[in-house]
Amino acid sequence: MALSLPLALAALVAARLLLSGAAEARVLLTLDDFGAVGDGIANDTQAFLDAWSAACTSNEQAVLAVPPGKAYRIWPVQLSGPCKKKLKLMISGTIVAPASPDEWAGRDPMKWLYIYGVDDLSVSGGGTIDGMGQEWWASTCKRKKTQPCYAGPRPKAVHFEECRGVSVQGVTLQNGQQFHLTFTRCSDVKASFLRVIAPADSPNTDGIHLNDSSHVRIMDNLISTGDDCVSMVGNCSDVRVKDISCGPGHGISIGSLGKNRSTDMVENVKVDTCLLTNTTNGVRIKSWQGGMGFARNLRFESIVMKNVSNPIIIDQYYCDQPTPCANQFQA
C-alpha cells in the first residue's frame, strides 16, 4: 500500500514518471539560462517569468527546469497560458517565497504561484516549494489573540485556475501561507506522490483544495498540515481520493457548502484506503443553513483512523464566524 512507501521511493517513482515522458521533450530550459542566481536571497522572479515565457511559446515541447541544489526566491507571479505545446515544469531544487507579508503590498494578497489557463502541464522533479508562511500565520487573528491582528486573505501557495490536463507529482509543498495546492475551475487533474507539510497550529493551511473542479485524482500523498488534508467546495464532481496518509490536521472535508445562500453541487466522490492519525476530524461533510444544491453519491470506505477526535461528521448547521449564525430552520 502506498501509505508505507518511504519518501525516497515516492520521489523515485515520481522521477521515473517524468523520465518516461522525457523523450517527447525537445527543448530543455533552466532558470539559470535566464540569469537566475539561486542563492535563496536574490530576487529570481524575472528570470522565472522569462523562462516560463520561452517554454510556453516554444514551437517544440519544452522542459522548464528548476535545477537541484539551489533555492530560487520568487515574488508573486502569474504563469499564464495557453501554451503552444505540452509543458513540463521540473522542480528539482527549491522555490521559496519572500518571508514578509509586506512584500505583497500593492499585489493580490491571495496569490503567490498562480497558474492560469494552462493546459497539459505536468509538474514533477522531487524538489520543494516553500511558502515561508510563518509570518503570515503569526499575524492572523486565529493565532494572535490581541489587536492588531490580520483577518484578511492570504496567498494560496500554488493555485491553478481554468486549467485542464494538469499533473502535479513527486514534489514537496511546505509552509504554505494558506492553502498549499488549489485547483479552481480545473478538469482532468492528477495530484500524486506529494509531501505536503506545515505545523499543526498553522491556520487554514489545507493540503489540497478543490473548487468547481471535475475529473480529479488525488492519490498516494503524505499530508501533514494545520487544516484539512483534502478539501473540496463549490461544484466538484468525479473526484477520487485514495491512499492518503493524513495527520495532523482536520481530516478530509467536503464543504463548507452553501455559504451566503449560494448553490453548491458536489457529486460522485470516492474516498478510500486512507490513514488518518492525530487529526481533529476524520471525514466530514459540512453545509451552511440557507444554502441550496446537493451533495450526493459520496462514498467513504477502507479508512483507518488513529487518535481522531471526531471520526465522522455530517454538519448541516456549519457556522464559522465570530458571532452565532441565525437559525434558518423552518418547520
Contact (CB, 8 A) for 210 and 240: no
CB atoms within 10 A of CB 146: 6
Domain ranges of the chain: 2-226, 228-331
Regions in the chain scoring below 70 on pLDDT? 1-25, 329-331
The dihedral region occupied by 139, where left means phi > 0, alpha psi between -120 and 50, and beta the remainder, is alpha
Residue 103 has φ and ψ, to the nearest 5°, of -70, -10
Catalytic residue among 159, 180, 209, 250: 250
| Res 191: pLDDT | 98
| Res 19: pLDDT | 45
Tens of pLDDT, residues 244-297? 999 999 999 999 999 999 999 999 999 999 999 999 999 999 999 999 999 999
* 227 part of the active site: yes
Tens of pLDDT, residues 99-130? 999 999 999 999 999 999 999 999 999 999 99
* 215 part of the active site: no
Q: Which residues of 20-54 are buried (b: 16+ CB within 10 A; e: fewer)?
A: eeeeebeeebbbbebebbbeeeeebbebbbbbbee
Residues 48, 269: Cα–Cα separation, whole Å:
36
Residues 235, 266: Cα–Cα separation, whole Å:
5
Query: Domain 2-226 falls in which CATH fold?
Result: Pectate Lyase C-like (2.160.20)
| Res 327: pLDDT | 85
| Res 25: pLDDT | 42
Residues 238, 298: Cα–Cα separation, whole Å:
10
Residues 192, 3: Cα–Cα separation, whole Å:
12
Residues 191, 225: Cα–Cα separation, whole Å:
17
Q: Looking at this protein, which amino acid is placed at residue 83?
A: C
| Res 326: pLDDT | 86
| Res 330: pLDDT | 54
pTM exceeds 0.85, yes or no: yes
Catalytic residue among 212, 227, 243, 264: 227
| Res 11: pLDDT | 40
| Res 321: pLDDT | 85
